[in-house]
Amino acid sequence: MSFAWVTLDTVSSPVIVASDLVKRYGEVVAVGGVSFEVAPGESFGLLGPNGAGKSTTMRMIGAVSTRTSGRLEILGLDPDRYGPEIRSQLGVVPQSDNLDEELRVRENLLVYGRYFGMTRAHVSGRADELLAFAQLQDKAKAKVTDLSGGMKRRLTIARGLMNDPRILLLDEPTTGLDPQARHILWDRLFRLKEQGTTLVLTTHYMDEAEQLCDRLVVVDKGAIMAEGSPSSLIRRYSSREVLELRFGADRNAEMADRLRDAGDRVEALPDRVLVYTADGEGELARLTDAGMRPITSLVRRSSLEDVFLRLTGRSLIE
Amino acid sequence: MTALDAAPGEQLRRVAARPRRFGAWYVAEHRLRVMRSYVSTVLIGAVGTPLLYLFAMGVGLGALVSANLGPHAVDGVSYLRFVAPALLCTAAVTVASEEFTYPVMLGFKWNPTFVGISSSPVSPGQIIDGMVIAVVIRLVATSAVYWLFMLLFGATPSGAAALSVLIATLVGLAFGAPVMAYVATLTSDSGQIAMLMRFVLLPLTLFSGTFFPLTLMPVYLQWIGWLSPIWHGTQLARIVSYGAREPAWLIAVHVLYLLALFVSGWLLARRIAKGRLYS
Ligand SMILES: Nc1ncnc2c1ncn2[C@@H]1O[C@H](COP(=O)(O)OP(=O)(O)OP(=O)(O)O)[C@@H](O)[C@H]1O
Ligand SMILES: [Mg+2]
């Protein structure tokens, strides 16, 4: 690639270093002092509810938002000084699509590649490669407004890959997509991960985080609550299994009180009671023997949702 | 450490050297590609406007004026020659008012392509520069076509009068750049752009010494002309077109006023774009 690295001697030094990173908008503290590092080739996630500060963090990493305080280095560079240099090495998939609706699908890629100083010939070849990668070859001449949500997302990812970035930033890549469209997208992101692209993504879907992230931080109200791999977080903050019991809206709270000593821990939600335990079926049998009669019961594996609930006392998706 | 800071000076410059230098041209290229999607409107406007206006003024109103006041009725020349430079400048301002309003609103807000571009190495200032470059290209092209029609209708001599094309382009920018800066501050359009067209653009075209000399207007309306880039530009175009006489200081005022409007609007728009895209 004509614009790529002359030398790539980066083996293990982090590609992103944030420490005590703060962003304030007047009185609003969007990001309140977060610290994390991302290693090259890693797939790193920011998991958190609405307003947690995920997009704000992504915009600072993307060198389009200046930090209020703290240290931030992308590829060893300070974004305040080397914005264009950093952005030339990033691919960005923003939370809301901003494809040019006045241009056709392929034209969006052509125009965007030029912004990185790529030649017309180079841009043209790369656009065809990425249309194939995004499974949009048939749509090359289509209007952007005629694409489905999933297709637009894939096109935005293809656009973010035009410059063959070292880091791909994905802000809620699958929010608003139906399950099938999400799976197609995950599959494409998996491929990038396999090819060694560093992925940084935000999501408020725990299954997405479990699928895609090697490591993640759970953020809430601008602060990091926990950090680790999905499985280690689940091990640390939750039990192996969860027994979900429903007693009817008006009885859940009362039953939770009676269940206090069940399993390792009990969490009462408005619509159900969660019993954290290593053995869900065994716990259910014990409770049934003790005369509890839930309307429905379900045993499932612990997820990041449970981790989040444990850490914040709130549900991830309100 | 990473390749990037291994040799900070040299390698750093290399990775973003082209976008740092040519970013504005890439934006202009993008804009021209978008203009292609409404190329028929552009062409019909570029050809239809001079045809319609020159025909109406030359054959219609112009004939009437000549019949009543003689062939050198206004400012020592035929009515068509008098009015044509003003029509040219007005047409340029119309084009600028199209290009510097809705496309700017679109880019920041409705279909935020500027937000998309700003995550590339290209800076907000370069986005604004690129918009300006693309509009300059369209202005020069439409003004050149207009001027050729003027020549065809006998509304202008040839030769140095062709400078009118550049004057008209400058008038378009002098009006358009401040408008762009204003539109860049809008977070929603609840009719502000339409108001701008109705209560700023329209009075400017009517009270800028367009259809008769500014000095013939009531004194209490003449200030509009003095504020209007159309009047300043039209006077310059009249000088190069048929040799209208103006004192040297006034010529300097015309040129400086147009340049000042353009440059200040442009710089302001850059500042506003930076604040908005790098929040
Ligand atoms: N430009 C801005 N001006 C003022 N406040 C802002 C701005 N951008 C973000 N905020 C505030 O900062 C906080 C964090 O917002 P942010 O968009 O980073 O959250 P998020 O985690 O991405 O949420 P979501 O899941 O809804 O996308 C919110 O309270 C938001 O209102
Ligand atoms: Mg967000």
Ligand in closest contact with the CA of A57: 1
Q: How far is CA B64 from CA A300, B52, B56, B80, in A?
A: 91, 17, 11, 11
| Ligand 1 closest atom vs CA A56 | 18
Q: Give CA separation, B106 vs A60, B85, B112, in Å.
A: 24, 32, 6
Q: State chain A's mean pLDDT as an integer.
A: 91
Considering only the beta carbons, identify the residue of A25, A85, A100 that sits closest to B16: A85
Are the beta carbons of B16 and A66 separated by less than 8 Å?
Answer: no
Ligand 1 atom 3 nearest Cα:
A25
pLDDT at B2: 47
CB contact under 8 A, A77 and B279: no
CB contact under 8 A, A103 and B33: yes
Average pLDDT over residues B194-219: 89
Number of inter-chain CB pairs under 8 A, A vs B? 116
CB A304 within 8 A of CB A217: no
- Residue B125, chain A, CB below 8 Å: the answer is no
Q: At A116, is the pLDDT very low, low, confident or very high (cuts 50, 70, 90)?
A: very high
Mean pLDDT value across residues B108-129:
97
Q: Note the pLDDT of residue B1.
A: 44
Residue A317's pLDDT is what? 57
Name the one residue in this structure whose structure tokens are 């750093």.
B12
pLDDT score for A145: 96
Query: Measured between beta carbons, which residues in chain A are less than 8 angstroms from residue B277?
Result: 64
Q: Which residues contact A212 (CB under 8 A, 6 or more apart)?
A: A43, A45, A186, A189, A190, A193, A199, A201, A203
Residues in A closer than 8 angstroms to B111, CB to CB, are 98, 100-102
CA B279 – CA A30 distance, rounded (Å): 12
Of the candidates A6, A66, A92, the beta carbon closest to that of B119 is on A92
The closest residue, in CA terms, to atom 5 on ligand 1 is A25
**Share above pLDDT 90 across residues of chain B, in percent, rounded to a whole number:** 75
Nearest CA to ligand 1 atom 31: A51
Q: What are A265's strand-pairing partners?
A: A276
Distance A308 CA to ligand 1 centre (A): 19
Q: What pLDDT sits at residue A2?
A: 42
Average pLDDT over residues A195-208: 91
ipTM, 2 decimals? 0.91
The ranges assigned to domains in chain B are: 3-277
Give the model's pLDDT for residue B173: 98
* Residue A164: CA count within 13 A, CB half-sphere: 14
CA distance B164 to B174: 15
pLDDT(A21) > 80? yes
Three state DSSP letters for chain B: CCHHHHCHHHHHHHHCHHHHHHHHHHHHHHHHHHHHCCHHHHHHHHHHHHHHHHHHHHHHHHHHHHHHHCCCCECCECHHHHHHHHHHHHHHHHHHHHHCCHHHHHHHHHCCHHHHHHCCCCCHHHHHHHHHHHHHHHHHHHHHHHHHHHHHCCCCCCHHHHHHHHHHHHHHHHHHHHHHHHHHHCCCCCCHHHHHHHHHHHHHHHCCCCCCCHHHCCHHHHHHHHHCHHHHHHHHHHHHHHCCCCCHHHHHHHHHHHHHHHHHHHHHHHHHHHHHHCC
Look at residue A7 and tell me whether its pLDDT is greater than 60. no
Of A195-199, A204-208, B101-105, which gets the smallest average pLDDT?
Answer: A204-208
A105-119, A153-167, A272-286: least confidently modelled range: A272-286
Ligand 1 pocket, residue A259 CB under 6 Å: no
Q: pLDDT at position A11, please?
A: 54
Q: If pLDDT is split at 50, 70 and 90, which confidence band does B141 have?
A: very high
Residue A212, pLDDT > 60, answer yes
In a mutational test of the pocket of ligand 1, which residue from A24, A28, A57, A170 has the highest number of ligand atoms less than 8 Å from its CB? A28
pLDDT of residue A8 exceeding 50, the answer is no
Q: pLDDT value at position A6? A: 41
% chain A with pLDDT above 70: 95
Q: Do A85 and B15 make contact, defined as CB atoms within 8 angstroms? A: yes
pLDDT digits (tens, 9 = 90+) for B7-49: 455 676 688 999 999 999 999 999 999 999 889 999 999 999 9
Across the interface, whether the CB atoms of B121 and A15 are under 8 A apart is answered no
Per-residue pLDDT band for A131 (boundaries 50, 70, 90) equals very high
Domains in chain A, CATH or no CATH each:
9-89+165-225 (3.40.50.300), 98-164 (no CATH), 239-301 (3.30.70)
Task: Assess contact for B102 and B41: CB atoms under 8 A.
Answer: no
Please state the φ and ψ torsions of residue B59, each to the nearest 5 degrees.
-80, -35
Mutating to test ligand 1, I would choose from A22, A25, A316, A318 the residue with most ligand atoms within 8 A of its C-beta, which is A25
The pLDDT assigned to A316 comes to 63
Q: Provide the pLDDT for residue B12.
A: 66
C-beta atoms of A64 and B14 within 8 A: no
